[in-house]
Amino acid sequence: MAAMARPARWHRNISAKVAAIPMIATALCIFIGGTAWTVVYSFTNSKLLPKESFVGLRQYERLWGSSKWLTSIENLAIYGAFSLIFALVIGFLLAALLDQKIRFEDTFRTILLYPFALSFIVTGLAWQWILNPDFGVQAVVRGLGWESFTFDPLYNPDIVIYGVLIAGLWHETGLIMCLMLAGLRGIDEDIWKAARIDGIPTWKTYLFIVIPMMRGIFITAIVLIASGIIKVYDLVVAQTGGGPGIASEVPAKYVYDAMFLSQNLGQGFAASTMMLLTVVIIVVPWAYLEFGGKRK
């Protein structure tokens, strides 16, 4: 009977499965094929155009010997760690405040979500102006009497990545807040009542009851934030152009510069492969722990 049931399950929704064939073929041919093509040609000496002149690991040796690449990796690690932590914390705190049924909630929610509607280019240019020491925050504060006040992160190579981080958080925190608010609104009111009856402090209710129940929301938020971290490019270009010097370089910009400015496709492919490898190292263990253990 079990052997007969299998064909029956396979033939269910056959029209939907046939309709999905073009999408599957596109994914296999374009995405997977393009990825494999990039990895293969990262071992070549391709310059302006791809060519099958294999040089082994030479492109990777040059890559990891480049101070620009090492700086970009360090910047991505700093930007990624702080962006992930602060976006989740600030987004959740804002959602918890809005969940108190405050007046003008719709207005505040719209204001906080509005930055996400802007492109990273617009966000970067806006914060380039705000952080400009001649007419931004520093100029305003000095105009109020604090002549010694200094706040010019975009012009200080030691802290420039934190200036980029400020703009990134302003852009993405509103979306995370909306996701968290939706999760909080899905918590049964009886849970809050039971916690109050048992005398559990509000912060413990959030930390030990509510947040574990919002696990799916947090996973979604982390995936969205992480995807933005890996591909951060236009925000840096709009704010700093990678400067001062190479102080705010990021891997995506390194790939673009190598492929289109330096006309060194092999080096760009090698950098792209390392970015892909980083994603795989992070995603595969997470996917196994998240979904693999459920198949028993």
For 214-230, what is each residue's pLDDT tens digit?
A: 988 998 898 889 888 88
- Give pLDDT tens digits for 139-156: 999 999 898 899 999 999
Residue 293 is predicted with a pLDDT of: 55
pLDDT surpasses 90 at 268: yes
pLDDT surpasses 80 at 5: no
Percent of the chain residues past pLDDT 90, beyond the cut: 54
Residue 138 is predicted with a pLDDT of: 92
Structure confidence at residue 294 as a pLDDT band (50, 70, 90): low
Q: What's the whole-number average pLDDT of the chain?
A: 88
Residue 10 is predicted with a pLDDT of: 60
According to DSSP, residue 49 is labeled S
Sequence letter at residue 152:
D
pLDDT surpasses 90 at 248: yes
pTM: 0.86
What the block records as the tokens of 86 is 């602060």
Q: Where are the alpha helices (DSSP H) in the chain?
A: 2-10, 14-19, 21-26, 33-41, 58-64, 67-98, 105-117, 120-130, 137-143, 160-185, 189-197, 202-205, 211-213, 215-230, 234-239, 251-256, 265-291
Tell me the average pLDDT across 241-248. Answer: 92
Structure confidence at residue 40 as a pLDDT band (50, 70, 90): very high
Residue 6 is predicted with a pLDDT of: 52
Structure confidence at residue 1 as a pLDDT band (50, 70, 90): very low
Domain ranges of the chain: 60-292
Residue 11 is predicted with a pLDDT of: 65
Residue 58 is predicted with a pLDDT of: 93
Sequence letter at residue 272:
S
Residue 30 is predicted with a pLDDT of: 85
Residue 72 is predicted with a pLDDT of: 95
Tell me the average pLDDT across 76-91. Answer: 95
pLDDT surpasses 70 at 163: yes
Sequence letter at residue 51:
K
Structure confidence at residue 278 as a pLDDT band (50, 70, 90): confident
Structure confidence at residue 296 as a pLDDT band (50, 70, 90): very low
Residue 104 is predicted with a pLDDT of: 85
pLDDT surpasses 70 at 9: no
Which residues share a beta bridge with 54? Answer: 44
- Class level of CATH domain 60-292: mainly alpha
Residue 295 is predicted with a pLDDT of: 52
Residue 95 is predicted with a pLDDT of: 93
Q: Which residue has the tokens 């993405």?
A: 172
